[in-house]
Amino acid sequence: MTAIGFIGLGVMGGPMAANLVKAGFDVTGFNRSPAKVERLVAAGGRGATSAAEAVEGADVVVTMLPDSPDIEAVLLGGSGKGDDGVLARLAPGTVVVDMSTIRPDVARSLAAAGAERGIGVLDAPVSGGEQGAVDATLSVMVGGEAATFDTARPVLDAVGRTIVHVGPAGAGQTVKAANQLIVGGTLQLVSEALVFLDAHGVDRSRAVEVLAGGLAGSAVLDRKAPAMLARNFDPGFRVDLHHKDLGIVTAAAREAGVAIPLGALVATLMASLRAQGHGDLDHGALLLQVEQLSGRADD
Amino acid sequence: MTAIGFIGLGVMGGPMAANLVKAGFDVTGFNRSPAKVERLVAAGGRGATSAAEAVEGADVVVTMLPDSPDIEAVLLGGSGKGDDGVLARLAPGTVVVDMSTIRPDVARSLAAAGAERGIGVLDAPVSGGEQGAVDATLSVMVGGEAATFDTARPVLDAVGRTIVHVGPAGAGQTVKAANQLIVGGTLQLVSEALVFLDAHGVDRSRAVEVLAGGLAGSAVLDRKAPAMLARNFDPGFRVDLHHKDLGIVTAAAREAGVAIPLGALVATLMASLRAQGHGDLDHGALLLQVEQLSGRADD
Amino acid sequence: MTAIGFIGLGVMGGPMAANLVKAGFDVTGFNRSPAKVERLVAAGGRGATSAAEAVEGADVVVTMLPDSPDIEAVLLGGSGKGDDGVLARLAPGTVVVDMSTIRPDVARSLAAAGAERGIGVLDAPVSGGEQGAVDATLSVMVGGEAATFDTARPVLDAVGRTIVHVGPAGAGQTVKAANQLIVGGTLQLVSEALVFLDAHGVDRSRAVEVLAGGLAGSAVLDRKAPAMLARNFDPGFRVDLHHKDLGIVTAAAREAGVAIPLGALVATLMASLRAQGHGDLDHGALLLQVEQLSGRADD
Amino acid sequence: MTAIGFIGLGVMGGPMAANLVKAGFDVTGFNRSPAKVERLVAAGGRGATSAAEAVEGADVVVTMLPDSPDIEAVLLGGSGKGDDGVLARLAPGTVVVDMSTIRPDVARSLAAAGAERGIGVLDAPVSGGEQGAVDATLSVMVGGEAATFDTARPVLDAVGRTIVHVGPAGAGQTVKAANQLIVGGTLQLVSEALVFLDAHGVDRSRAVEVLAGGLAGSAVLDRKAPAMLARNFDPGFRVDLHHKDLGIVTAAAREAGVAIPLGALVATLMASLRAQGHGDLDHGALLLQVEQLSGRADD
């Protein structure tokens, strides 16, 4: 039975680890908060009191952490040289699957650090949210070596539904970044359209109905516009996190010399929404800012 | 049998008029080019040698013309006062359905001019393209009085599939403008994402596959991205026309004091694409400009 | 003695007409508000009760009106055909100097309408504000025929200090539009810089001192930043007017196929400032909006 | 006599160190390239074969290096912990003046690292270019403790003309960043205006003359526009460097939650110019890109 060390048992990682247990894997989990480790134990997994303990004897290590520095600290350790992190403890042939959303260049350097030790490292960020994690219906965008992908495939199948190997190391994060660019931009476009329609006295529910059926149709229009029109901005996906992700997008575009004028403007607008104190709202709250800038804020 | 006067038998109007004949209406059509009138006659309609002749005795007048000044000239006549145009010739109770894409404020003033004469004027722009016109599957966004909409409904049903009354006069054009804002913006976002992915060495077909399944999914990604990746920029919908429509969007947003920062930037980028000589390409050619600005143009 | 008919005796036109009187011209003025005509009479000019009366026997007609439609109505009359406006009343050889800020294409069409009647029409917008009008130190940007410019030169010399013939008809308005593009953009850049400095705890007065001395130096930094830092937004030049002018800029850029991405964004931001109810503030109030978007608004 | 250790004897640092010698300081310099060290020796200074040697016994250490990582490596050493860098070798009471243009947050952390050792660290970036370095007429924007500033003042006076203490540690870099934001934005605005004027057939030299005299006037218009109109894009200040600096600006704005929509767009446009292969041109080459986007490129 494949032994999995799982680091990061939060909102996403917790149910994912539980699904791995359910699928028959031998899962040992670690999280800074012991309560989350206990939840995994209650679900049939094993608990560890450190990352090092969690990965001992693991065939596959899965990480699900908030941001680039977190995953670097866990895998490479404090010095940044990799001598006291998890990578240094793993046997050659082990596979690491990082499912966090981080910078593509960090993902590439982690893969390189793994390769030096004979360890395959995949970047495998997900989309689908907490519900997708619970239901094991996540979409997973995987970057790394094909052979490593094949090895990790059964693990990924246990947590997601659409599993696509999109390219070499970093490619998974790049696709996730592109995803966040498109989603953020579409939310802003739909917000602009909704305020535009309102200002011209149009029945917005009917307008959304006809827009959704044509070339303007999108998952954002289908899944987010109704809540936006109902002024329900409970997350969902928080502005704070989308802001973090758009930072990854703009940095990666800058690194590669890619012109993303709309992306840069969306990143500015998301940052403004956060600076105005709305970091905890759903990202559909971009609508509030368009209303504000149009002199149509409620208050 | 309802008598229809149809003015504007072009790429869109021609098949629409033919579908009205097929549906059993008594259609008399006019176009400046006699060849297009003959095509309607061949399809079972009647031909007229002037707009005035086409609308004589009509219960419903349908117009399908390129831009605001064209429809003003036809309905109001040369002086702009309405004395020598089509409106002045119609009996009270006649219904005019303008299916052109024009400025919402012009649509409102035409409706007002009609109302003075007891003539109901609807703005009813469409989406769905030439294929939708041929197949009678257009989406139609209708602005105007509810009673007028009810009267015109059988005519609209004969040319489209999704017929939605979205609000008072001008509302149809407003929704069409919102449609063009979202479509133009989404095309630019997808272009930025595709170049971003390419620059990072990602397999773009696989990336589109996984993106399309999540919150980044859209009709643009489904219907336009494959042609864009295949570098097929045959229209489809021409840059020139989308440029015209974005002029309507930005003017209408300005008029209403609505902030559309992304829309304004997309309008600038579409105008640049046109200024660089690509007005005759499909609007998916926004991809070419992102490549150019990223130093990744083919030539 | 040259006879001048002066139409439009407002904040700018009033003191300009008075300066023409002072310079020895025989000035007959008209304004809709009789009080303003009386002020010109008190300054030594003559009053008229209509535009037609003001231009009777004039060698040079000067107009100073708010916007394109106003000047069209005065020069061409209500029908737009020119039969009942001022141009139709003038003898061939008369010179018209329009000092309003209007659209370049309207300026060109007015010049063409004049040329048909043997009347030279100059577009001669000014910069320098009310103080410059009072002090006769305006900068004047003149478009039109060289010979007409030479004829009008003594008149212009009496109201301004820097008088430059910049090109054919419309060129004066084009330069004024470029002026408003640069001024609006620089105000926004300085606003962004000031909030940026404040957020990082920098002493802004000292920062402005060192910035003003280098390549970042500008008239905006010299003349506007101190009032902005003192939170004095009394106009000066109102947001409403700059909004109107940026509408001219974006329309003229669109017409000519010129890419002005910064200009388009500035126009959006100025429109937002106005939509939020700040149309009567000085355009330096762009600072308030940057503060708002940065979560640093006072209230 | 005050002993100065000077690290970084490049285009800027070389003449600055020479000016310190001229002013009577005892200067020991280090640069990776021995040729540059020899030039300092020829000018009357001393040469060192390592940074460590250069700072031995120094009262004041001056650094002038390309970017944040360079100065971190020199002051803190390779581990990032500060144990093997220059800071660890200096006696308490020594003053370090970093005149490089780097990230404000890095400047703050360097100052903190110095403070732990009783060493005052100033961030003191300059503007004025190579000519200003040679002529000792630089503007210097200084962040740090007032007492440290007073100590370093005589050194700064020997290399610059306008020396302003703008705030605490990092403030100098913040002001430099604001400087680069305004300069980059103004260059783009002027480029947009120049293409706009050209497209409308205006005599641009005359237009610049009248623009420069009004509220649109700026150092960019005075010093850069003539070369831009002459199509002379020899640096001056290279696009590559301005691109680096705008990266600092956007990162520092993001860190502080400050909305810089124009700044973000300028950064995108500068990055595009570089991606298109123009990194070695003067930053006035933004004009070329506006021409390109307007379909008015020469070739």
In whole angstroms, give the CA distance from residue D125 to residue D40. Answer: 21
In this complex, the residue of C182, C185, C196 whose CB is nearest that of residue D260 is C196
Number of C-beta neighbours around residue B37 at 10 A: 23
Asked if residue D41 lies in contact with residue D9, where contact means CB atoms within 8 angstroms, the answer is no
In whole angstroms, give the CA distance from residue A215 to residue A206. Answer: 16
For testing contact with chain A, the best of D83, D84, D268 (most A CBs within 10 A): D268
Report helix, strand or coil for A145. coil
Residue recorded with tokens 């769905």: B128
Which residues partner with B95 through β-bridges? B60, B120
Predicted confidence pLDDT, tens digits, chain A (299 residues): 799 999 999 989 999 999 999 999 999 999 999 999 999 999 999 999 999 999 999 999 999 998 899 999 999 997 656 668 999 999 999 999 999 999 999 999 999 999 999 999 999 999 887 888 999 999 999 999 999 999 999 999 999 999 999 999 999 999 999 999 999 999 999 999 999 999 999 999 999 999 998 899 999 999 999 999 999 999 888 999 999 999 999 999 999 999 999 999 999 999 999 999 999 999 999 999 999 999 999 75
C8 Rama class: left (phi>0) / alpha (psi -120 to 50) / beta: left
Chain-chain contact of B263 with A295 (C-beta, under 8 angstroms) = no
Chain-chain contact of D261 with C192 (C-beta, under 8 angstroms) = yes
| Residue spans of alpha helices (H) in chain B | 13-22, 34-42, 51-55, 68-76, 104-116, 129-135, 146-157, 171-199, 204-212, 219, 225-229, 239-256, 261-273, 286-293
In this complex, the residue of D247, D258, D264 whose CB is nearest that of residue A264 is D264
Give the residue from C183, C99, C178 showing the smallest Cα distance to C144: C99
- pLDDT for position A132: 86
- pLDDT for position A84: 83
**φ, ψ for residue A283, nearest 5 deg:** -65, -15
Residue-wise DSSP of D34-72: HHHHHHHHHTT-EE-SSHHHHHTT-SEEEE--SSHHHHH
Triad A233, A237, A243: Cα angle to 5°: 105
In this complex, the residue of A261, A272, A294 whose CB is nearest that of residue C294 is A272
In eight-state DSSP terms, residue B218 is B
Which residue is catalytic, options D22, D36, D176, D244?
Answer: D176
Give the residue from A52, A51, A150 showing the smallest Cα distance to A95: A150
Chain-chain contact of D259 with A275 (C-beta, under 8 angstroms) = yes
Which residue is catalytic, options A36, A81, A176, A244?
Answer: A176
Spans of chain D below 50 pLDDT: none
Distance from CA of B81 to the nearest CA of C (A): 10
* pLDDT of C207 higher than 60: yes
In whole angstroms, give the CA distance from residue D110 to residue C247. Answer: 48
Distance from CA of A86 to the nearest CA of C (A): 38
Chains that touch D (3 or more CB pairs under 8 A): A, B, C
Q: Which residues of D touch A (CB under 8 A)?
A: 79-80, 247, 250, 254, 257-261, 264-265, 267-269, 271-272, 274-275
| Contact residues on chain D for B261, CB-CB shorter than 8 A | 261
Number of C-beta neighbours around residue A295 at 10 A: 18
| CATH architecture of the domain with residue range C3-167 | 3-Layer(aba) Sandwich (3.40)
- pLDDT for position D237: 87
In eight-state DSSP terms, residue D173 is H
Distance from CA of C213 to the nearest CA of D (A): 8
Domain residue ranges of chain D, discontinuous segments joined by +: 3-168, 174-293
Average pLDDT over residues B34-60: 97
Chain-chain contact of D247 with A254 (C-beta, under 8 angstroms) = yes
In this complex, the residue of B174, B203, B206 whose CB is nearest that of residue A197 is B174
| Residue spans of alpha helices (H) in chain A | 13-22, 34-42, 51-55, 68-76, 104-116, 129-135, 146-157, 171-199, 204-212, 219, 225-229, 239-256, 261-273, 286-293
Give the residue from D93, D102, D87, D111 showing the smallest Cα distance to D167: D111
Distance from CA of B249 to the nearest CA of C (A): 13
Angstrom CA distances, A275 to A240, A265, A271, C293, D211, stand at 10, 15, 6, 7, 37
Band (pLDDT 50/70/90 cuts) for residue B273 is very high
Residues of chain B above pLDDT 70, percent: 98
Give the residue from B143, B174, B181 showing the smallest Cα distance to B252: B174
* pLDDT of C79 higher than 70: no
Residues 6+ apart with CB under 8 A from B232: B282
Residue-wise DSSP of A171-207: HHHHHHHHHHHHHHHHHHHHHHHHHHHHHTT--HHHH
- Kindly report, residue by residue over C39-54, the tens digit of the pLDDT: 999 999 999 999 999 9
- The alpha carbon of C131 is separated from its chain's Cα centroid by a whole number of angstroms, namely 13
Distance from CA of C73 to the nearest CA of D (A): 25
CB pairs under 8 A between B and C: 38
- Fold held by C175-293: N-(1-d-carboxylethyl)-l-norvaline Dehydrogenase; domain 2 (1.10.1040)
Angstrom CA distances, C51 to A274, C61, C91, D175, stand at 55, 10, 15, 54
Asked if residue C16 lies in contact with residue C159, where contact means CB atoms within 8 angstroms, the answer is yes
Asked if residue D9 lies in contact with residue D38, where contact means CB atoms within 8 angstroms, the answer is no
Chain-chain contact of D186 with C181 (C-beta, under 8 angstroms) = no
pTM of the model: 0.92
Chain-chain contact of D276 with B295 (C-beta, under 8 angstroms) = yes
- Given 3.40.50.720, 3.40.50.1820, 3.90.330.10, 3.40.190.10, which CATH number is that of B3-168? 3.40.50.720
Chain-chain contact of C186 with D218 (C-beta, under 8 angstroms) = yes
Peptide bond into B236 cis (omega under 30): yes
Extract the tokens encoding B93: 């109770």
Distance from CA of C168 to the nearest CA of A (A): 36
Assign 3-state DSSP to chain B and report helix, strand, coil percentages, each to 5: 55, 15, 30
B176 is catalytic: yes
Average pLDDT over residues C259-273: 98
CB pairs under 8 A between B and D: 25
* Mean pLDDT rounded to a whole number for chain C: 95
Which residues partner with A62 through β-bridges? A6, A97
| Contact residues on chain B for D296, CB-CB shorter than 8 A | 275
- Kindly report, residue by residue over D70-102, the tens digit of the pLDDT: 999 999 997 656 668 999 999 999 999 999 999
Long-range contacts of D71-80 (CB under 8 A, 24+ apart): D71/D98, D71/D100, D71/D102, D71/D106, D71/D110, D72/D106, D72/D110, D74/D7, D75/D110, D75/D113, D75/D114, D75/D121, D76/D110, D76/D113, D79/A79, D80/A80
Extract the tokens encoding C270: 């100025």
Chain-chain contact of D218 with C164 (C-beta, under 8 angstroms) = no
Residues 6+ apart with CB under 8 A from C273: C239, C243, C279, C281, C285, C286, C288, C289
B229: buried, middle or exposed (CB in 10 Å: 19+, 13-18, 0-12)? middle
Which residue is catalytic, options C22, C36, C176, C224?
Answer: C176
User: What chain A residue is nearest to B289 in terms of C-alpha separation?
Assistant: A259
Which residue is catalytic, options B36, B81, B176, B244?
Answer: B176
Which residues partner with D282 through β-bridges? D238
Compute and round to an integer the Cα radius of gyration of chain D: 21
In this complex, the residue of B254, B259, B268 whose CB is nearest that of residue C261 is B268
User: What chain D residue is nearest to A243 in terms of C-alpha separation?
Assistant: D254
Report helix, strand or coil for A255. helix
Peptide bond into A114 cis (omega under 30): no
In whole angstroms, give the CA distance from residue B148 to residue B119. Answer: 9
User: What chain D residue is nearest to A277 in terms of C-alpha separation?
Assistant: D257
Extract the tokens encoding D221: 């218009």
Asked if residue B227 lies in contact with residue B282, where contact means CB atoms within 8 angstroms, the answer is yes
CATH class of A174-293: mainly alpha
- Kindly report, residue by residue over C104-148, the tens digit of the pLDDT: 999 999 999 999 999 999 999 998 878 889 999 999 999 999 999
What's the farthest any 2 CA atoms get from each other in chain D?
65
D68: buried, middle or exposed (CB in 10 Å: 19+, 13-18, 0-12)? buried
Asked if residue A178 lies in contact with residue A266, where contact means CB atoms within 8 angstroms, the answer is no
In whole angstroms, give the CA distance from residue C109 to residue C98. Answer: 13
Asked if residue D244 lies in contact with residue D270, where contact means CB atoms within 8 angstroms, the answer is no
